[in-house]
Structure 1
Amino acid sequence: MVRRGTAAGAGEDGGGASDRKTCAADPSEKIINYYVLILTVVLIIVRGLGVLAFAWSTVVLLGGFVQLIHRIDFWFITVISFAQTARIFDASADEQYLYLVDLLSRAVSTALIRIRNKQSATTSGADGFACSATKSPIKIFFTVLLVLIFPLFNIVVSSLRLRNKDFGNERNERPGVMIFYSLALSQGVLYLLWFILEKLKSLAVNRVADGYKFDDKNLSLGRKYVEKYLNDTRSKCLKDLSATEGRNLIAYASGLLDSDHKDKYLAGAEILNHLISKNRLPNEELIRSSRKRIQKLVLMLSWKDDDYQDVRLLAAEIVLHVAENISISQFPGTLESVSALIQPSKENGALFHRQSSESMEQGGPQSQQLNEDDAERESKLIVQGLRILDKLAQDRNNGLEILRADALLVDIMAWICSKPFIRKGEQDKWLEIVRLSFSVLVRLAELGAQTAERLRSKIHHELLPSWVPYYARYPDPDITLMAIETYSHAFTTDKIGDESDQNQTIDQKRKKFVEVVLRLFLNDQGKWRTSPTSPAPEVRKKAGEALADLCVYRRNCICLITLDKHKDDVVRRLEEAMRLGVNKEYRAIAADILKRFYVFLCRPGRETQTERSSRLRSVVNQALKLLIQFYPETETTGSNGIVHGGNNVTGFSQIIEISSSQSDENHQARLEAALVRMIYDVHNKVEEDNFERTIEEDHPGFEFVVLLERLIVKNSRTSLYHLDIVKWTAKLICEIIKNENSRMEKISPSLSRRDAASSSDGVWVQKIVDKKVVDSLSKASQVMSGEDSWTLFIHNRQRGAHWATSLAVLEEEVLYELEKYKGLLLKSGHN
């Protein structure tokens, strides 16, 4: 992977040779490269033969045998030598010759018209057409007829004279003339070969244009650019035969970007944009090119001249292509240039209004079309600017630079806040802009609580949570997903907002957002009446994920409790979703919400003792019912021969079948991890005897230790949620043993060993020893060590670690408590 911030690292000037070194020729371009190489070699040979023929004629023949050469040979040699002097054989490849032909044809045609009309230098418009009509035959004569006549003259004359061989009787005259005619014949034949090959260049051009998939709309333009590439390659190859090595259309187009001429720059930008659209332009081809080239592209984004808006849009496409690989700090003015693309101004005001009937009458259909074209172009510029920011923000250092640009953040949120001003006709353009604005805010908010604190504050104050249901009305759910994630980042903190009156508005926004995501997750659309249909499944899932994250924080839980007391039985509906959800993913999300909400509800002082005990018992009961279904081997037969556990659970339509797909397995593991977490939290918040008594009364014959053992054995896999299950189970085992140790340390020293182990925790600890649960935990720790380390690293890097300790450390704590338990048993037995 190319390192961030090394764009254009080939040097300040780059271009030329460096482009050839870093660009590999495409197979289709090799056709042109080989074609140009063959054409150039033939032309070089033709030129070499011409030089030899001219030198031989002037030095040897006309200089040494001029008195002896036959008259016919003298004139033939003279004409051929004059043709060499006039560079007739270089004519089609010589730009200077073609330019002189053009000047000559203009002069001759103008003179003929003046003579015919006897007019002054100022001619009428009709004479201009006559001038063009006269100039064309002259150009055809000089560039076609004259170029073909002399090679044919060389071939015919040389062939006839070589066949007749009547050159005189002098000792060196005869071989001298034969050598000259042989040179002239070879040159003529090779030149005709070159001429034929040169006229077949359209075949190579079409082949390359088809290889780059220029569609019917851009086919003529593509052929035009490929032909320019061929001509440029040929001119370079005439100077250096190695110029075709590694040369391709990308290097050619990149070189055009260095030009200050608008047409050349536009041509290079159009070629690169086509290659980008066809996924034929690797990032490395531009990243390793000239640094000045990338800097120029970036600065062009801020150009406001109306004549350069098309070029500006093309430059934005290219910058977008390389944005994720460049560093803002290495390219001064990057944020200012991008901000110019998205900044609301009069230039892009056409996006949000249509012409009035009066202006349409004045300007007519053409004026209306221009206005719509401007609006379309401006919307594309805004979209490209936001896409560039989205890619830049993928790099943490770039994201920090963007967060420091307060004015840029205001411009981004301005498009989201423009919702009330958007008319129906412009909704599609606006929705794409808003979706990308949310995407940029999400990336920036993910950088962390401290670095993104100012952004979170702006979201708190500028955006309204009541807009989220409005977005859910549209068929495309992406904008709703982005909006939920943006608001979620803003409210996943307790720092902003307090009980004072000055933050009452913020508290109301927090409460409103909690209500919005709750209603979306529970599909309670009747509360808003904004959409005749239910939200998309992915919107419901995203709302549930956001609610689960919100429930980590105290103030959000308070908002949820308020909704529970004053409007709906929220907890009951979430518990119902956990048990009877439409699929495992939905149930797992509901369980994640409840496991965090229960932690808040079960705090001392939040409810009365009776309410708290009732709720804790309900939590344990529901969690165990589901786990018994997932692990039926933990059930035992009671004294009356009836199987207890999952089969007597009421309220379920059917027992869940574990899917073989990886996705369903992950959702299943996530649900189980949440259930184990609930049991662990309840165990820590009630007295031990009450916890065991609740299990025994509600689930008679249930083997709790067997469940712990199966949770470890069946989830010893290298995945995140399986790791969560094993860790929570390990913590629960550690707490059970620790509680028993604490109880045994407080009892009378005269208590017998059998009595010491007769408590509920003591029975469970003894079963943990008998069933070798700790051995299973040790094996799981070995299997999952790599996944555990990586998970800890990622979570700590994101400052949201779920675990302060690794599974290996938890295993050591369990072993320590178990050894301590055995020591206490021996001590009590000794006494």
Structure 2
Amino acid sequence: MEKLARKAFTRPREHLTPSWYLPRLGPVIQLVEVIIIQILSLPALVVVLMAGILYKLGPVACIVLSLWRLWQHDYCNTACDDNKANLVPALNMFYCLVIGQGVLFFIWWLMDVSVMSVMVLFREECQLPEKWGSITILGYLYDIRAKCWRDPTSIDGMNLINYAVDLVDSESQKDYLSGARMLDNFIKLEADVRPLLLPSRPKIQKLIDTLGWRSSNRELREVVARIVAYLAGDIHLSQFPGAIHCISSLLDTTLPYWNNQQGPSHVTVSESKKDADGARERFISLAKEIEEYRGRRVAGFGKKKSIFVLKGTEDNKVKKFRNQGGNTPQDGVDSSTHHGSKGDGWNELILQGLTILERLVFDQHNCNDICNTPGLLPKIMAPLYSETLIQDINANLWADVVNGSLKVVHRLIRAPEWIGRSDLVHKICSNEHALSNLERILYQGKNDGTELQMRAIEILTELVTDSSANLSTETKENLIRKQEE
């Protein structure tokens, strides 16, 4: 009996309640516990609410009470004696000080509130997206105010673009992303940020290193990839250690096992067909995965689309590529891939990676670095060697990748004499699938295949005019016939 009583008092629910009741009583007991906790927290909630009300309405109450006391002016019920002769002027001064403090508080409050309207107007003027633009502008305004308090001369010449460039050096990834977003937005608005970024090699190195951060924020990699693509025409790979490997990582962002297959050995233009076939299969697999993902999104969200379009005038194109080896838009890089608007997710990174490579090859030393990087050429030329290229380009996302790949190939074989160029030309001419794919692209019946046809014509034209290329007569006749159409 004593044992039963001891168990009942120590663990009553376990020994007095039948075990089959416990599963049913569990939700009820949890509900009762939640209600008890909420009831016990009510006093604390009331205290917090009262504190908030006093904080908001306290200055108003102080001003009202002070005005009322000054109006009444009945500090003494009867005539004040000599001991209280100074009470009246002291109270008058006290109430006036309270009123002055309240007025200053409201002025400060109005100035603080006005920051919001200034922020909205500033964001609209800078054409920043509403999603993150307001927070960024607010941070900029607070930063300017803090610097002005410390040293007013420190804000001379300070503007939003300089602020964005400064954020690139930030150790905080959040601030880094904010600065990269702003720079990307200003580049889209055709602001020239090259003079602010190019003189600082550490900034460029950090931007390039970010491309290789596979575990980092994907949005950060996309934004930085667009910035690097914008600067690529002025970048010399030899000045930035590991840059080409970071850029190469953009072409295999969804294929982590690719890096495990890259050995330390030195591979030149004449890399084995096995590597090329492997890269081709990976590209095909990637394109199909992206297309399936896009299909699931369309099925889940109806006709909702996310389209990113950026077009520039011909004069702006000339300005963009004035340092990239071309005197006219035809000689420059097509800016349609600069922001990779047709792709999303990892496909965006691949398109930007190809754009970066396309602009890097204006320098012959960059061409050597690209072709001497293990595994990079097979990634670039994988679509050209694909046995199912014509079927795969029916998917728009795959067509974008093919177009970007052909642009890079064309730039490589068109670039001035550099070590390995003749080997690359020979490699293309001796590959049956490469020539077959180029010829079949020429006769694509799709209206949206015109751009790919132009890429194929450009490559075949370069091969025909190259004395080391050994093209068949039939291929040359097909090219001439297509150009006459």
Q: CA deviation at 1:354?
A: 7.2
Deviation per CA, 1:97-144, whole angstroms, max 9, x where unpaired? xxxxxxxxxxxxxxxxxxxxxx99x99896899799658625623642
Mapped to 1, the partners of 2:201 and 2:93 lie a distance apart of 55
Q: CA deviation at 1:340?
A: 0.7
CA contact (8 A) 2:425 2:463 kept: yes
CA contact (8 A) 1:253 1:271 kept: yes
Residue of structure 1 in register with 2:397 after alignment = 429
Kindly report which structure 2 residues correspond to 1:159-174, keeping only aligned pairs within 5 A, or say none. none
Q: Does 1:325 align with 2:234?
A: yes
Mapped to 2, the partners of 1:220 and 1:356 lie a distance apart of 28
Residue of structure 2 in register with 1:244 after alignment = 155
Mapped to 2, the partners of 1:205 and 1:169 lie a distance apart of 56
Bigger Rg over Cα: 1
AA aligned to 2:176 is Y
Higher normalized contact order (CA 8 Å, seq sep 6+, divided by chain length): 2
Deviation per CA, 1:267-286, whole angstroms, max 9, x where unpaired? 33323323333334532233
CA contact (8 A) 1:355 1:368 kept: no
Residue of structure 2 in register with 1:409 after alignment = 377
Instruction: Note the residue ranges of structure 1 that are not aligned, 5 or more in a row.
Output: 1-118, 497-506, 524-831
Mapped to 2, the partners of 1:341 and 1:128 lie a distance apart of 55
Q: Does 1:285 align with 2:285?
A: no
In structure 2, the CA distance between the partners of 1:400 and 1:427, relative to structure 1 (3 Å rule), is same
Q: CA deviation at 1:233?
A: 2.4
Kindly report which structure 2 residues correspond to 1:48-197, keeping only aligned pairs within 5 A, or say none. 137=49, 140-141=52-53, 143-146=55-58, 187-197=101-111
Kindly report which structure 2 residues correspond to 1:150-549, keeping only aligned pairs within 5 A, or say none. 187-214=101-128, 218-280=129-191, 282-288=193-199, 290-305=200-215, 308-343=217-252, 346=255, 349-353=285-289, 376-405=344-373, 407-418=375-386, 420=388, 423=391, 427-451=395-419, 452-462=421-431, 464-472=434-442, 473=444, 474-476=446-448, 477-495=450-468, 507=470, 509-523=471-485
Mapped to 2, the partners of 1:169 and 1:398 lie a distance apart of 93
Q: CA deviation at 1:157?
A: 7.6
Mapped to 1, the partners of 2:44 and 2:383 lie a distance apart of 55
- TM-score normalised over the length of structure 2: 0.63
AA aligned to 2:123 is A
CA contact (8 A) 1:155 1:189 kept: no
CA contact (8 A) 2:291 2:397 kept: no
Mapped to 2, the partners of 1:254 and 1:484 lie a distance apart of 41
Mapped to 2, the partners of 1:319 and 1:486 lie a distance apart of 26
Deviation per CA, 1:807-829, whole angstroms, max 9, x where unpaired? xxxxxxxxxxxxxxxxxxxxxxx
Mapped to 2, the partners of 1:129 and 1:272 lie a distance apart of 47
AA aligned to 1:196 is L
CA contact (8 A) 1:301 1:340 kept: yes
In structure 2, the CA distance between the partners of 1:354 and 1:194, relative to structure 1 (3 Å rule), is closer
AA aligned to 1:352 is K
Residue of structure 2 in register with 1:116 after alignment = none
In structure 2, the CA distance between the partners of 1:295 and 1:136, relative to structure 1 (3 Å rule), is farther
CA contact (8 A) 1:468 1:516 kept: no
Mapped to 2, the partners of 1:277 and 1:135 lie a distance apart of 51
Kindly report which structure 2 residues correspond to 1:667-746, keeping only aligned pairs within 5 A, or say none. none
Q: CA deviation at 1:301?
A: 0.9
Q: CA deviation at 1:385?
A: 0.4
Deviation per CA, 1:319-361, whole angstroms, max 9, x where unpaired? 122222222222211111111111486367442247999xx9x
In structure 2, the CA distance between the partners of 1:187 and 1:454, relative to structure 1 (3 Å rule), is farther
AA aligned to 2:204 is I
Deviation per CA, 1:7-54, whole angstroms, max 9, x where unpaired? xxxxxxxxxxxxxxxxxxxxxxxxxxxxxxxxxxxxxxxxxxxxxxxx
Kindly report which structure 2 residues correspond to 1:635-646, keeping only aligned pairs within 5 A, or say none. none
In structure 2, the CA distance between the partners of 1:335 and 1:367, relative to structure 1 (3 Å rule), is farther
Mapped to 1, the partners of 2:108 and 2:409 lie a distance apart of 61
CA contact (8 A) 2:439 2:475 kept: no
Count residues with an aligned counterpart: 380
RMSD: 4.7
CA contact (8 A) 1:155 1:188 kept: no
AA aligned to 1:442 is H
